[in-house]
Amino acid sequence: MSLNEIANQLVAPGKGIMAADRPSPAFKELMQSEGIDHDDDSYRNWSELLFKTPNLNEAVSGIIMTDEQTRMADGRGEPLLPQVIERGMIPGISPFTGMVALAGSAGETVGSGLDGLRERLAEYAGMGVGFSKWRAALQIGPGTPSYYAIEANAYVMAQVAALSQEAGIVPIVEPEVMLWGDHTIERCYEVTEFVLSRAFEALYTHRVDLEGTLVKASMVLSGNECARQADVDTVAELTVKAFKRQIPAAVPGIVFLSGGQSDYHATAHLNAMNAKFDLPWKLSFSYARALQREPMAVWSNRAENVPAAQAALHHRAKMNGLASLGLWTEELEREALAQ
Ligand code: 13P
């Protein structure tokens, strides 16, 4: 399959991506903070629950995994990655090895993991991995994100994108402008537009084929501590405006991260953008938290809760799949709750 065909498959109508790439130490921390007991098998059991959710492929086209997950076997000893493919979903890889401090900056970060990446990507491609994802985490604050951090991250993301395409893997470029802070939505708009413009300049310099690239973007939102919270229509309008100005129509799709938004808002915002605007690219989801928050609470690391947790995941995926078509309604959520 060509890069463009894989990219189009990832944003096929009514489908989006599930980000399952929380590494095991962060997964254990999350379980601890939620008051859920964990043991040596928890990460495997959770990954298996996610990957084997019945009919997940109705709304999920691909799954972003950690290196550990790509090599994982299920409880019966069967490798999980081929089972994801058999279930009609494309495995993806988050090949970075962690965020590191950007030298000379005031606490800003850049992703690490470029060493040996060409060889690792070739290996992943041989395993059936179809796409990669690389994140930049840019925090709005006094004097941040700095021009330095925006440029450094854009450059690294573009290098990873070029290396991914060389290996036949579709890069998902993720310049996240984070939700945390008391900034206004107007400030988030300004930062998002600038960050996207720098990211695309770097992709151009690195000769990245845009038809074979997806963007994983944050929405234009009021900071979580801002006293004035923008409504759904304003979020949709400003997000689409920033994208139309900075993301070329050659890109097949933009998939959102949820970034700490509630499940409701992640779905409602996505729906409003698709329902109200004429868009040159597909606009869909690549959520971690907004798909998995509820399933994890239902599961609580108990085998008997797996079917109910999978039903909760299927439901959220389905709702977001509808939102990617602009067809989601609050009534659909209520109907599902009543069942
Ligand atoms: P969230 O949807 O939780 O922001 O995660 C997205 C992501 O990039 C994880 O890989």
Contact of 146 with 105, CB cutoff 8 Å: yes
Is 237 marked active-site? no
The catalytic position among 15, 108, 133, 174 is: 174
Hey, which of 157, 257, 270 would you mutate to test ligand 1's pocket, going by the most ligand atoms within 8 Å of its Cβ? 257
**What's the whole-number mean pLDDT along residues 46-74?**
98
Instruction: With a cut of 80, say whether residue 36 has pLDDT above it.
Output: yes
Pocket flag, ligand 1, residue 287 (CB < 6 Å): yes
DSSP 3-state assignment of 19?
Answer: strand
**Average pLDDT of the residues of the chain:** 97
Q: What is the per-residue pLDDT across 214-267, written as a single tens digit (0 to 9) for each?
A: 999 999 999 999 999 999 999 999 999 999 999 999 999 999 999 999 999 999
**Which residue minimizes the CA distance to atom 5 of ligand 1?**
288
Largest CA distance in the chain: 55
Q: What is the pLDDT of residue 337?
A: 73
Q: Domain coordinates of the chain in residue numbers?
A: 3-338
Pocket flag, ligand 1, residue 21 (CB < 6 Å): yes
Question: For the purposes of burial, counting CB atoms within 10 Å of the CB of 98, is it exposed (0-12), middle (13-18) or buried (19 or more)?
Answer: exposed
Which residues, including other chains, have CB under 8 Å from residue 315's CB and lie 6 or more apart? 336
Work out the percent of the chain whose per-residue pLDDT is above 70.
100
- Residue 336: pLDDT band by 50, 70, 90 thresholds? confident
Distance between CA atoms of 121 and 128, rounded to whole angstroms? 11
Q: What is the pLDDT of residue 267?
A: 98
- Residue 334: pLDDT band by 50, 70, 90 thresholds? confident
Which residues, including other chains, have CB under 8 Å from residue 244's CB and lie 6 or more apart? 280
Pocket flag, ligand 1, residue 96 (CB < 6 Å): no
Contact of 234 with 244, CB cutoff 8 Å: no
Fold of 3-338: TIM Barrel (3.20.20)
Is 28 marked active-site? no
Instruction: With a cut of 80, say whether residue 305 has pLDDT above it.
Output: yes
Query: The whole model's pTM is what?
Result: 0.98
Question: For the purposes of burial, counting CB atoms within 10 Å of the CB of 5, is it exposed (0-12), middle (13-18) or buried (19 or more)?
Answer: middle
Pocket flag, ligand 1, residue 64 (CB < 6 Å): yes
Contact of 180 with 132, CB cutoff 8 Å: no
